[in-house]
Copies of this chain bind each other. A is one copy, B any other.
C-alpha cells in the first residue's frame, strides 16, 4: 500500500505510507503505519487518530487549556486517550492522580509497544488505567477536578460519550469537563450535539485549534463547568515542555469567527 486514504463526506485526505507496522482487530480495527513524512500514524476504524508530526498540537490544546483554567487541578480523569498523548501532557503539571479509562485495552498495548508517544508516561506512578467504557465508569467513580474526553469520532465505541446522559452524570463528577468536539465546519451536527448537551454544566465555552491531519483541520473543543478563570503564572512550570501552547495561543483559541458565533447563538 502506498497511500492511506480517509474519506469523509465529499472529501478526503491521503497520507503516503512506507509500511503498515501492525493491524489488530479488537473492539475496533487498530492500525499503526510508518508514513513517508509524518512519522508514525495511528488509525482506528479507518480514521486517522494522530500522526507524530502534529499530535502535539491536538494533545497540548486538549490538555493545557483546561489545566490552566482550573484553580488547582490535582486529580484528572482521561476518558479514551489510549495512545498516551493526553496523559503525557497532563503529567507535565503538578498532578497527584490520573485515571485513564480506555474501553479498548489493545489501543494502550499497541501504543506502548509501537507508537511510544507517551514518552514513558504509561510508567508513571500517578497513573491508574481502567479498562472500561468511560460512560459506565463515570456512573460510580469519585469526583475529579477535571475530566478530559479524548475520544474517537462518535461512531462505534465512542458513541455513548456524545450522549445527553453522559453529560448529565459527568457534571457531578468534575469541576470542569473538556471534550474534543469534532469539526464545526463539516461535522456541524455532531459539534452542535455536544454543545447542546454540555448545557447541563451551566457555563461553557468553545475553543478552536488547527489540527492539520484531521478532516479540514479546524477543530473544536467544548469546555464546560467552572470555566471563567485563568492562571497564566502557572505557564512557567510547563514553558519548556510544550511546543505549540503558550499564553497567546490560549487566549486566542477562544476567538470565534463570525460564522461560528452565529451557529452558537442560534442554539
In the complex, A13 Cα to B256 Cα: how many Å?
Answer: 25
Docked Cα-Cα span, A255 to B248, in Å, equals 5
What 5 pairs across the A-B complex have the smallest Cβ distances? A217-B217, A10-B37, A252-B252, A12-B14, A248-B255
Chain B residue with minimal CB distance to A219? B210
A1-16: contact bitstring with B at CB < 8 Å (1 yes, 0 no)?
A: 0010101011111111
11 more A-B contacts (CB under 8 A) besides A213-B216, A244-B258, A248-B256?
A11-B14, A11-B16, A37-B186, A210-B217, A212-B217, A217-B217, A242-B258, A245-B258, A246-B257, A246-B258, A246-B261
A interface, how many residues as a size bin? 35 or more
Which of B57, B186, B255 is A252 in contact with, Cβ under 8 Å? Answer: B255
Q: Is A72 an interface residue (CB 8 A)?
A: no
Interface string of A238-263 (1 = CB under 8 A from B): 00001111101101110111110100
Residue-wise interface mask of A (209-227) relative to B, using a CB-CB cutoff of 8 A (1 in contact, 0 not): 0101100111000000000
| A242 CA / B196 CA spacing, docked (Å) | 26
Query: Is A185 an interface residue, CB under 8 A from the partner?
Result: yes
User: Once bound together, how far apart are the Cα atoms of A210 and B9, in whole Å?
Assistant: 19
- Which B residue sits closest to A251, measured CB to CB? B255
Check if A38 is an interface residue, CB within 8 A of chain B: yes
Interface-central residue, A12, A185, A252, A261, by most chain B CB under 10 Å: A252
Within 8 A of B (CB), among A165-197: 185-186
A-B contact pairs, 17 of them (CB 8 A): A7-B14, A9-B37, A10-B37, A11-B16, A12-B14, A37-B186, A212-B216, A217-B218, A242-B258, A243-B257, A244-B257, A249-B255, A249-B256, A249-B257, A252-B252, A252-B253, A252-B255
In the assembled complex, which residues on chain B have CB atoms less than 8 Å from the CB atom of A256? 248-249
Rounded to whole angstroms, the CA-CA distance of A245 and B256 in the bound complex is 9
Q: How far is the CA of A216 from the CA of B255 in the complex (A)?
A: 21
Report if A111 contacts B (CB, 8 A). no
CA separation between A245 and B210, bound complex, in Å?
17
Bound-state CA distance A10–B38 (Å) is 8
Q: Which residues of B contact A35 (CB under 8 A)?
A: 10
Interface presence of A96 (CB below 8 A): no
A247 to B252, CA, bound (A): 12
Closest to A185 in B: B212
Q: Tell me if A136 counts as interface (CB < 8 A to partner B).
A: no
